[in-house]
Structure 1
Amino acid sequence: MIEQLEIRHLKTLDALYKFGNISSAAEYLNVSQQAISFQLKKIRVILNDRLFVRTGHGVTPTPYAKLIEPHIYKVLTHLNNIPLPGSIIPSKIEKTLVISATDYTQKVIIGALVKMLRASAPKVKIIVINIESVNLTKKMHQGEIDLAFTSDGYVPTGLISKTLFTEKYRCVSANRDITFDDSLPISKLIEYDFIITSPGTGSFKGSADVWFEQQGFRRNVVISVPSFFMMQEYLKQSNMVGFIPSRLLPYEGLFEIPLEKYPPGYTVVAAYHPNANSDPFMTWLLDEVSHLFSGKI
């Protein structure tokens, strides 16, 4: 049946259409005449038609072969037009790109990405949504989300992550009563109330709490907010302290508190579905994003 046809079968038929001669078709495909005859025999069985009959000067297509000729040509044309990863022309790509991102990556990454796309691929439209955690894999599999920017610890099973850079934390506050010499000891830092970010979960336990416990201390977290943007605003209006990614600083109204030690940073990644590996545009886009942030630690 039709589904048993292979690409090599289509190429054999195409060569026979072009040359009407088995030897010429074999030379064109760089195979032996016996190989052409063998392939034609298999195709005849699959399609239940002789397809080509011998004449005094070669072979001529049967009525059925003439009927399917434009379909064979169309399939091969589509196959030949499939772009290779390095062969796409970004300026001609027309599509909508849906990006799921944390508030941090929206500010640090997407601004630079939008600038690059407007210059290199102006026909690409972009939808940016807040980070999707619970259903990210499902939505990417269904094609609802193309790309996500987040930290490596929040990439769900079933997705691939591409490392972009490593971010460091800095301690900040608006409380000018906090005094220190060269740096503030951790033992003094924990005397102040903390605000943390906990996107989507609303927990009073943040990523730095394990680090504090390893130092032999426990901090007092009094406010949990879903984004660094809100955290910065609330810090400005209080005497609390908090950890902010270094790339979001400086921030008006807040000052940095140098510490003897800092909690470990985190790796920022681009997350995508394995299906994206077969998409030339996504391959190009991921390479461009990597180049934008290469060397940034």
Structure 2
Amino acid sequence: MAEYDSEITMVKESADIHLRSVDLNLLTVFDAVMQMQNITRAANSLGMSQPAVSNAVARLKVMFNDELFVRRGRGIQPTMRARQLFGPVRQALQLVRNELLGAKFEPISSERAFSLSLCSPLDLRLGGTIINHVKQVAPQLGLKIKSYINNDIEHQLRYQNVEFVIGYSCFESMEFRSEALFDDELVLVVAQQHPRITNQITLEQTLMEQHAVVSLESFGSFSKFYYIDDAMQRTVTQQCTDLYSVLTIVSLTEMVAIAPAWLVRQQAEALKIKAVPLCQCENKATCYLSWHESSEWDKGHQWMKTILTEAGHSE
């Protein structure tokens, strides 16, 4: 037993000696290069010269026994090993930053800028509420909201180009976190003067109608919520780039579409459309707030998450 304890002690001492030989300042360089994926921009963000950052990257390659970054066009691309390291390194740095003097996040005086992606049409439902609340409690804070989300959203969220996503999808990878905010009720939307549809319709009748849909199939978008399987031989006559265009087409024709009930109520008078309950099919779409695990210990991130969660739960 004593021999075993002696071996454990030797292993721990060896690990301590190895860690003391590491320049932990290199980790801040690694974090910046991973975010920027460009040596020059990383150097500017760190207040360092480009040669100094390049030298630090060379030392990082030796430290982790991996190339870490390979050239791609005018920038660089992280290797698989670098991607694996990014989350743990970022979390460790944030834990240290949180304990430093003056690290407390003060919304009333902060000039920090946050970026948020809001899937359409959730931008219409939540955008104004979020902007007004942030302005009230953090007047100097910057907030950038994008309504369009492309299929590169995982990359953007992982490297902090976007800090939060609100949409109708959850990320499958374990490195992302999601919280359900609310369920949207889905309805069939038709023109108020539709010649065949009044206040109710069967699934069979719905399938016989011509449908207008959102053609954009990006992450979290409404386009996935048709709730009528294509195997049921639904006829799609019009494909639009956004849901508001779909509602406009429906208002001018005999076509039908599926949309959130709140959006139909909001546009009913202006577009002369109405909602009809969906029969024999799913009529709920859950809205999620998502973020990357590497940001969870950041105090500013925690504050903004609370703001966004409150905005979603108030709906």
SS in 2 for 1:80: coil
- Tell me which residue corresponds to 1:269: 288
2:97 and 2:258 map into 1 onto residues whose CA distance is 58
Q: Is the 8 A contact 1:162 1:269 kept in 2?
A: yes
| Separation of aligned partners in 2, 1:218 and 1:260 | 17
Q: How far apart, CA to CA, are the structure 1 residues paired with 2:200 and 2:97?
A: 69
SS at match of 1:164: strand
2:179 paired residue number = 162
> What secondary structure is seen at the aligned counterpart in 2 of 1:91?
coil
Name the Cα RMSD after superposition: 3.1
CA distance in 2, matches of 1:96, 1:281: 10
In the aligned structure 1, how far is the partner of 2:102 from the partner of 2:262?
43
The question of whether the paired residues in 2 share the 8 Å contact of 1:162 and 1:270 is answered with yes
SS of the aligned residue for 2:307 comes to helix
> Which residue does 2:47 correspond to in 1?
none
Say which SS state the counterpart of residue 168 (structure 1) adopts.
Answer: strand
Match of 2:164 among 147, 160, 168: 147
Do residues 82 (structure 1) and 97 (structure 2) align?
A: no
What is the TM-score with the length of structure 1 in the denominator?
0.64
Residue 130 of structure 1, CA deviation = 3.1
Q: For 2:257, what is the secondary structure of its paired residue?
A: strand
Residues 175-203 of structure 1 deviation map (CA, whole Å, 9 limit, x = unaligned): 623445652222222221001123246xx
Counterparts of 2:261 and 2:134, CA distance in 1: 26
Alignment of 1:1-297 (within 5 A): 4=20, 79-83=100-104, 88-153=105-170, 155=171, 157=173, 158-174=175-191, 176-179=193-196, 183-200=200-217, 206-210=224-228, 217-250=232-265, 251=267, 252-253=270-271, 254-294=273-313, 296=315
The 3 A distance-change label for structure 1 pair 272 and 78 is closer
Question: Which amino acid in the other structure matches residue 271 of structure 1?
Answer: S
Q: 1:229 to 1:156 in 2, by over 3 A?
A: farther
Identity %: 12
What residue in structure 2 maps to residue 17 of structure 1?
Answer: none
* CA distance, structure 2, for counterparts of residue 76 and residue 271 of structure 1: 23
Q: CA deviation at 1:3?
A: 6.6
224-233 or 175-184: bigger deviation:
175-184
Cα drift, residue 151 of structure 1 = 0.9
Give distance in 2, aligned partners of 1:177 and 1:134.
Answer: 37
Q: State the TM-score, normalizing by the size of structure 2.
A: 0.60
Match of 2:277, SS state, is coil
